[in-house]
Amino acid sequence: MAQNAAEILKIWNQAKESRTPIQSHWQDAYDYTYPQLGQGFSGIKDSGTADSKKAELLDSTGTDATRTLASALISGMTPANSQWLNLRISGQDDMSAAGHYLSQCAELVWRNIHSANYDSEIYGSMLDFCIAGSFVLYIDIDRERGGFVFEQWPISECWWSSTTRARVNMIFREHVLTAAQAYGQFGEKAGEKVVATYQRNPMEKVRYLHAIGPRQVYAMGGKLARNKPFYSVYISLADNQIVSESGFDEFPCMVPRSTKLPGCEYATGLVSDALPDIKELNYLKRYEKSAAELAVSGMWIAQDDGVLNPRTVKVGPRKVIVASTVDAMKPLLTGSDFKVAFQNEQTLQNNIRRTLMADVLTMANGSGQMTATEVNERMNIIRQQMAPMYGRLQAEFLIPMVERCFMLMLRNNVLPPPPDDLNGIDFHVAFDNPLARAQKLAQATAIQQAVGFVANYAQVMPGIGDNLDVDAATRDLFSTLGVPADIIRSDDDVKALRTQQAQAAQAQQAQAMQDQLGMQNASEQITAANQPAA
């Protein structure tokens, strides 16, 4: 079903109005941490202005803490050196045929994600998430080289909305092309005014709106782009008409939100909480810098006595100043107290790092050398503190990203054919990343304590072990600790192994009894042979 340009532009304008109140706050958050990333909110991208804002920052605590938090989120959620996702069936053994298939698919999805440009795009995305509380990551197939392609869209170019009040499922991106680029991409359909601009000046800039959203009517399983569940249209803003229309089977943009604001679809990041301290710290550093200049250069008092002219005298090295007396010119104490400035500066820096969790992420509070146990406990505390943020990212970023990548691979016949056991069975995405394992650490600790308790009291209370299903406890512990499924035996394999061991033990016991019986018979025969004849 064809989309209506006027209706899409109306929704876009509503999304723009909804973002307007938070836009200036986002701009401040970027200006005091990463000014280069905050270009375009005013409609103009000027790297010179961003460089000037960067030069005006007198303290880098906010920038460093934001970078530390973004890096911790990436390494805690999607580490490139270990598989962090899995596909599981609720209530079924991972070692079943369907479980093995899903485990194999999960590994293929993970490898394809990190073999693409995901790792280069996610860092900038996480910086946006920490600063503005959101980011936009577009996912599609690289139709030239194969594999996935990830593209971080600048947050200043994007507006979004939701028709479900849950995940974002509508996005609008306004971007600028030269008339030559637009004509090369859309041809004569680029719009009458754009074509006229191309003929007049191919390098003149023209504006386009890329809109993606759910179709109200679509064909289930439709192959044509216009019949897919999500539309994708390009609108020439000079002509206010659609110049290109296609579609997606899933929403291709991941738009997670940190602290969602009431009454709108936008959010703020942790930098928003630290922004008052960051501003005050830079304000304090300006006074501190002025006081330092005064302390280094000095301040003098001079008497205009007819010999010394204070208006023309210049103080400097290797200079002779003519005066009537030595008291005609002398240094003046400024009254500055750097201790107060340093104390306030240290307090503000600690507040910023604590708000952005950089103090615990860098283990700044640790004293001396720590044991491995102390390090593990500290990291567990860190992950527990990050759990609320991780939960939001998991629901609005990780799960839809894995689902999108899985379906792209499935439709392009990259995944192996599914077994018959998987027909009609629902499965879900499970995460085995460091943050997910930290959240389940209490369960693992409880299992270990229960097993240890049974082992300690087994001699005093011989029947206590009957209360514990050791196999179930072992599997739960392996799952919680993220042990790879391919090194764990399935229930059927364990039963077969135990049956084989029992049969071997029975055969060995029977052989021992037979050997003992044979020895007894031989002994009786020897005894009978040695007895004298009657």
3-state secondary structure 214-228: ECCCCCCCCCCHHHC
pLDDT score for 364: 42
What is this structure's pTM? 0.80
pLDDT score for 114: 95
Per-residue pLDDT of the chain (534 residues; tens, 9 = 90+): 567 899 999 999 999 999 999 999 999 999 999 999 998 887 777 778 888 888 899 999 999 999 999 998 998 899 988 889 988 887 666 666 777 888 889 999 999 999 999 999 999 999 999 999 999 999 999 888 889 999 999 999 999 998 877 789 999 999 899 999 999 999 999 889 999 999 999 999 999 999 999 988 777 766 777 788 999 999 999 999 999 999 999 999 999 999 999 888 999 999 999 999 999 999 999 888 888 777 777 778 888 877 888 788 887 777 888 887 887 888 777 767 778 888 889 999 999 999 998 887 776 445 556 665 666 666 667 767 777 888 889 999 999 999 999 999 999 999 988 887 777 778 888 888 777 766 666 677 778 788 888 888 777 888 887 788 888 888 777 777 767 666 777 777 788 888 888 888 888 888 888 877 777 776 766 777 666 655
Long-range CB pairs of 454-463 (<8 Å, 24+ gap) are none
pLDDT score for 194: 93
Output the six-digit token pair for 329. Answer: 């010119």
pLDDT score for 365: 46
For strands 253-254 and 241-248, give the pairing: unpaired
Helices (H), 32-96: 47-56, 61-77
* H helix or E strand, kind and range, residue 16: helix 5-31
Helix (H, G, I), strand (E, B) or coil at 413: coil
For strands 267-268 and 259-260, give the pairing: antiparallel
Number of neighbours of residue 199 by Cβ within 10 angstroms: 10
Q: CA 227 → CA 209, 212, 447, distances in Å?
A: 21, 14, 51
Domain borders along the chain are 273-365
Residues 6+ apart with CB under 8 A from 506: none
Output the six-digit token pair for 422. Answer: 């998987």
Report the b/e string of 218-244 with b at 16+ CB within 10 A: beeeeeeebebbbbbbbbbbbbeebbb
Contact 338, 296 (CB under 8 A): no
pLDDT score for 438: 66
